[in-house]
Amino acid sequence: MPSLFELSLPDLTALVTGWGQPAFRAKQIWGWAYQRLAPSFDAMTDLPKDLRQRLKAEVQFGALTQALDVHSRDGGTNKVLFRLADGRQIETVLMHYDRRRTACISTQAGCAMGCVFCATGQMGFDRNLTPGEIVEQVLWMGRLLKKKDDALSNVVIMGMGEPFHNYAATLAAVDRLEDPDGFAFGARRFTVSTVGLVPMIEKFAGEHRQVNLAVSLHAATDDLRSELLPINKKYPLNALIAACRQYVAATGRRLTFEWALIEGKNDTPAQAQALIKLLSHPKFPCHVNVIPLNPPHDYAGAASTRERVAAFKEILDAGGIPCTVRVRRGIDINAGCGQLRASQIENAK
């Protein structure tokens, strides 16, 4: 049985007209699913009853089942663990801060990249998510907010998995959510984060999209980056930064670098100086987000202290590299990438 969110509007139109229904019914279903954020076929109250029955019998209303729903003590972070149709699990996070409502969504069950400080990386790779499974995470969070007369303002593709390792499905999901006759979420409200798959950054640059790009850098020398992010052995810093420059040149857009500060590893003055060198000669429009590590179970590294975070930022400031210190959110609910699923596995042992 197909899931509603795997279907494009032409797919849906072909399906309902094949049942002898007029084509406009497909648009009506589309509007319910993507604009009015209906939670079920039953909620689509102005569809004829026989059509609703047929839909229920032949189309699955989504493929995600909630396995766990946790809220941080401060109420700012809500994390949902979903079970997929094949029993695999993924996580989606909803963050409330200031006036922003940001969904952090997953693109794969597990991840093949093996970054040593990442809970998802330590699980290994299960499979790619489909466009429908990616789309549905966003709609789910949209529905939760709608109940409180609120709405999503941003989507960050920074949950489990490497989006550029599942490039086509990720961008198909973005396209679906951008549809002006559907969810109508503007491209600039998305941010996609990559570990640094150079050929995909180049491909993305060539598409001239308005979607924001973030690159997980975390180290400014090849030795250290290869130790933390094994993919660096395949795409070392020279190639990565060249692709980033190409992206900025092709799109005219600023790029964000992410840096999780690990005590004594990548929070040293030497790393800060190496980072300045890497992003200068000549400088290009970019921004570094530093965040203290969210320590996962299986990694011995610790988060940098407040003093070391401040010292790191000070060196970047002096070197003319724009830098923002981000706050860790939802620590008490394992809101770091992959940490909730990892903690469930841990509990089950």
Q: Could you say which residues in the range 156-175 bind ligand SAH, by CB under 6 A?
A: 158, 162
Strands in 77-83's sheet, in edge-to-edge order, are 65-71, 77-83, 89-97, 100-104, 154-157, 190-194, 212-216, 255-261, 286-292, 323-325
Positions marked catalytic: 91, 337
The reply to whether 118 sits near ligand SAH by the rule CB under 6 A is: yes
Q: Which of residues 3 and 271 has its CB atom nearest to ligand SAH in the complex? A: 271
Considering only 129, 195, 316, 331, the residue that binds ligand SAH (CB under 6 A) is 195
Q: Which of residues 112 and 325 has its CB atom nearest to ligand SF4 in the complex? A: 112
C-alpha 338/C-alpha 53 separation (Å) is 38
| Residue 132 binds which entry of ligand SF4, ligand SAH, none, CB below 5-8 Å type-dependent | none
The reply to whether 204 sits near ligand SAH by the rule CB under 6 A is: no
Per-residue tokens: 109: 């069950």
Q: Which window, 31-39, 114-122, 203-211, 265-273, contacts ligand SAH (CB under 6 A)?
A: 114-122
Q: What are the Cα distances from residue 258, in Å, to 24, 85, 89?
A: 45, 33, 26
The reply to whether 293 sits near ligand SAH by the rule CB under 6 A is: yes
C-alpha 203/C-alpha 47 separation (Å) is 42
Q: Could you say which residues in the range 11-70 bind ligand SAH, by CB under 6 A?
A: none
Considering only 132, 142, 296, 330, the residue that binds ligand SAH (CB under 6 A) is 296
Q: Which window, 16-24, 82-90, 111-119, 180-188, contacts ligand SAH (CB under 6 A)?
A: 111-119
> In angstroms, what is the minimal distance from the CB of 209 to ligand SAH?
17
Owner of token pair 């790619």: 128
Binding site for ligand SF4 (CB under 6 A): 111, 113-115, 118, 120-121, 161-162, 195, 216, 337
Binding site for ligand SAH (CB under 6 A): 115, 117-118, 158, 162, 193-195, 216, 258, 260, 291, 293-294, 296, 336-337
